[in-house]
Amino acid sequence: MVQIGDVVVSFDVLKEKFLCNLEACKGACCIEGDAGAPVELDEIEKLEEVLPVVWEELSPEAREIIDRQGVVYTDQEGDLVTSIVNGKDCVFTCYDERGCCYCAIEKAYREGRTDFYKPVSCHLYPVRVGDYGPYKAVNYHRWDVCKAAVLLGEKENLPVYKFLKEPLVRRFGEEWYNELEEVTAELERRKMI
């Protein structure tokens, strides 16, 4: 692990390879699992603000769940997560004509209809941020549904942290990310990763 400020980063984030391959996985990370995506407290208001923008794109089941319990709930571990449909799909998950799922919020952002990209935990995936005492811990999450992304990342020789530059900057800042790149380059030079 390396420490940048009050953030501890796993070596796996620096050395493992990853590049999303939506054609292969069809967006399975938005629909698999046993809970919704982790949500920061300050993101709840943003999720509620974006609802009118994406409402018509959401499935009837998703709209019903949002009407009944809201955009988030507290999961079994006590974490705030996005509400889910049928025990799997995030309520903001939609499907295109090819059967690929996509985030209605991200689509609206890319179309200029909102300034909220999506929850930072979604943007950061396959990295998960947790608490490690007084520090934040940045860890690489391995999941079978992302096997094609690992293979494509290896083919393109793209480390996780480079694939996730934009969301890491969003979460920790440009200066932090620049320091992460410098530390990684030094570790590579010393053949420590």
Q: What is the mean pLDDT of the chain?
A: 93
* CA–CA distance, 147 with 25 (Å, rounded to integer): 8
* CA–CA distance, 117 with 110 (Å, rounded to integer): 8
Query: What pLDDT does residue 47 have?
Result: 97
* CA–CA distance, 52 with 54 (Å, rounded to integer): 6
Query: What pLDDT does residue 16 have?
Result: 97
* CA–CA distance, 165 with 55 (Å, rounded to integer): 30
Q: What is the β-pairing status of strands 7-9 and 72-74?
A: unpaired
Tens digit of pLDDT for each residue in 119-169? 999 999 999 999 888 999 999 999 888 999 999 999 999 999 999 999 999
pLDDT interval class at 178 (50, 70, 90): very high
pLDDT interval class at 179 (50, 70, 90): very high
Domain extents for the chain?
A: 1-18+126-193, 27-116
The yes-or-no verdict on residue 10 having pLDDT over 80 is: yes
pLDDT > 70 in the chain, percent: 99
